[in-house]
Amino acid sequence: MRRQSILSPAIERCRREGMSLPTGYGKSGLALMKSVVSDFTDTLKLTIALAAESSRIRERTSLETEMADHRVCCRMKLGDSHRPTGKTRHYRGGEECPPPAELRIIQFSDDPGFYLLYYDATGEEITDTYHESIDEAKAQAAFEFEVTPEEWECS
């Protein structure tokens, strides 16, 4: 069985549609076309990777700008005694989130509600939940990690 080149379907389509193909180039012409396609594919992969990184940077910058207009109401570092109870599970990108290292309750200046933010050990936000009051946010933390009200540092 003859091995099919990645260009074979394109060449066949050109022939079916009556397009003329370059002649006289032989195998070197085909090698040149393969090289062009390969370079284009590599360039396209690089472009996609750069676009994804650029989007991630824009998203992070947008989040930091949005986060600048808030106040931290309460925070606490989670220790060994604060293991997840398993009563709630958070997912991000289809995967279960790891247990947080820190919790913060924040309020944006243009929002009457409060966000319970979950952070990893590097300070990256993992996920969040929305609540009508600080007490509701604290109750959620107690439900998930058996946090007591006295453990919070509040401003």
Strands 95-96, 91-92: parallel, antiparallel or unpaired by DSSP?
Answer: antiparallel
List, for residues 38-90, the tens digit of each pLDDT value: 666 666 666 666 666 555 555 544 454 556 688 999 999 999 888 899 999 99
Which region, left, alpha or beta, applies to residue 114 given φ > 0 means left and ψ of -120 to 50 means alpha? beta
- Work out the average pLDDT over 108-117: 91
The pTM (predicted TM-score) of the whole model is 0.57
Report whether pLDDT(143) > 90: yes
Report whether pLDDT(105) > 90: yes
User: Which residues touch 115 (CB under 8 Å, ≥6 apart)?
Assistant: 105, 106, 107, 108, 128, 129, 130, 131, 137
Q: Which H or E run includes 136?
A: helix 134-145
Using pLDDT thresholds of 50, 70 and 90, give the confidence band for residue 115. very high
Using pLDDT thresholds of 50, 70 and 90, give the confidence band for residue 116. very high
Beta partners for residue 105, in sequence order: 74, 116
Backbone angles phi, psi at 25, to 5 degrees: -95, -25
List, for residues 13-22, the tens digit of each pLDDT value: 656 666 655 5
With residues binned 3-state (H G I as helix, E B as strand, rest as coil), the percentages for the chain, rounded to 5, are 45, 20, 35
